Amino acid sequence: MHILSYRFLKLLLVFIPLWITSVAQSQEYNWQRFNEELSLTRGTFYTTDQYSEWLPQTDYCRLVKTKWGWDSCADIDAFVVYPTNSVDTLIIVKPDNSGYVKFDDWKSSDKDESIKQIEDELRKGVKQQSKSSGSNIQFLGWHTYPKLNEQNKFLYYATKLDWDGEIQLNVKASVFDRRGYVEFILVPVEANVSSSTIERMIVETLGLYKPSPNETYASFTTGDKVSEIGVLGVLATLAGVKWGKVAATGLVAIFLAFAKKGWILLLLPLFFLGRLFGRKKED
């Protein structure tokens, strides 16, 4: 017979009020199970996790506009909750079409200096967001240093932020393909995890996305458009900062991954309770 621990009882007492609100909130949206692959602009996404769900366009547009205050949902390709055990929320952005990205600049001797410049611009952007939002937001540096996985054609990073005393992880990644790349924004279940854990989480999640057969990175042929900015330019774009030929994309790029855990709990459907209890019983 399972005996509830004191720690679990404390968690339950904290969670129940959030869950009651979540029940009412979740009924506003038409959550869909992964009974088949989710068709996207240049690929598909599929997960076998029993708790994973996704929202149709009409619903995620209403969600991000009414709950997160966005002006537009036009850049979203998919909105998924719990794609894996370690990811609360995943937003897949509609593909970039700037062209095939060569990896040459990532092998240059001044790569780390370029990343430092991007970091400095990101730090400035967070400082500006802190002033604009009225919250005390501090950039604490790279939690997972930018890395290019050449074998799988992934670029990813995670930054650590202190938001009014609460640690937040800003996790972004891209999958390179024939015409550019697809951006992924991930909100982890836990912020207090190691960099290696974040890397495994990213690789696991991105592995659920499959580019269309003729749109893979290896499908590039002579005559296809080639990007002018390279991998470092893509990194700057993901970070939403001005660097070299990359124009600043505004603070929205940073804000996307700033969703606090409390906001997410109020939007999750009923399966979250089952996942929470299931985990605790297995501990």
Residue-wise pLDDT for 211-231, tens only, equals 999 999 999 999 999 999 999
pLDDT, position 27: 61
Going by C-alpha positions, the residue among 273, 271, 231 that lies closest to residue 34 is: 271
Using alpha carbons only, give the angle 264, 120, 227 rounded to the nearest 5 degrees: 80
pLDDT, position 261: 43
pLDDT, position 91: 93
pLDDT one-digit tens code per residue, 71-85 = 888 999 999 999 999
pLDDT one-digit tens code per residue, 135-149 = 888 889 999 999 999
pLDDT, position 28: 77
In this prediction, the residues of the chain whose per-residue pLDDT falls under 70 are 1-27, 245-283
pLDDT, the chain, mean? 81
pTM of this structure: 0.82
pLDDT, position 5: 43
Yes or no: say if 45 and 92 are a contact pair by the CB < 8 Å rule: yes
Going by C-alpha positions, the residue among 45, 88, 1 that lies closest to residue 211 is: 45
113, with CB counted inside 10 A (0-12, 13-18, 19+), is exposed
What gap in Å lies between CA 55 and CA 283, rounded to an integer?
A: 30
